[in-house]
Amino acid sequence: MNNDTTSRQGEKDQQQSKQHEESFTLPVVEETVHVDKKTIETGKVKISKTVKVDTETVNLLQVQDDVEIERIAINEFVQTPPPPLRYEGDTIIIPVMQEVTITEKRLLLIEEVRITKRKVESKESQEVVLRKEEINVQRS
């Protein structure tokens, strides 16, 4: 009987371990989330732009070159012609030559033309239109 009891006991243990193997279930759980956005109007903004026009007087400094031409009579005979032009400060000197018939031909320096450059400054006022933009924001 002991053998029988032992064998029955062994069979029960095997059945129980098979039941444990077969009936052991582990549930797997997964959570998900769904996020959504919703637009909610909390107020309104009104934007307007205006342009202001102002007139200002602007003083301008104008610089221009003024040329003075002076003719100086020389009327001298020269052996060799002078250089085509020369400078004395801001003045350009241009010799003017003429051939004169005599028994021999000689150069007669008739005149020099002197050109002097001067700066002339004058002040002038002008009306100028300036524009300026402004932004107005109104919240409601």
Question: Would you state the structure tokens that stand for residue 99, as one six-digit string?
Answer: 């051939």
The C-alpha atoms of residue 1 and residue 105 are separated, in whole angstroms, by: 172
Strands 86-88 and 45-78, bridge-based pairing: unpaired
pLDDT of residue 87: 92
Mean pLDDT of the chain: 82
Over pLDDT 90: what percentage of the chain?
A: 16
pTM, full prediction: 0.36
pLDDT of residue 99: 86
Q: What is the mean pLDDT of residues 12-37?
A: 71
> Is it the case that residue 46 has pLDDT exceeding 60?
yes
Over pLDDT 70: what percentage of the chain?
A: 83
16, containing H or E segment? helix 2-23
pLDDT of residue 80: 87
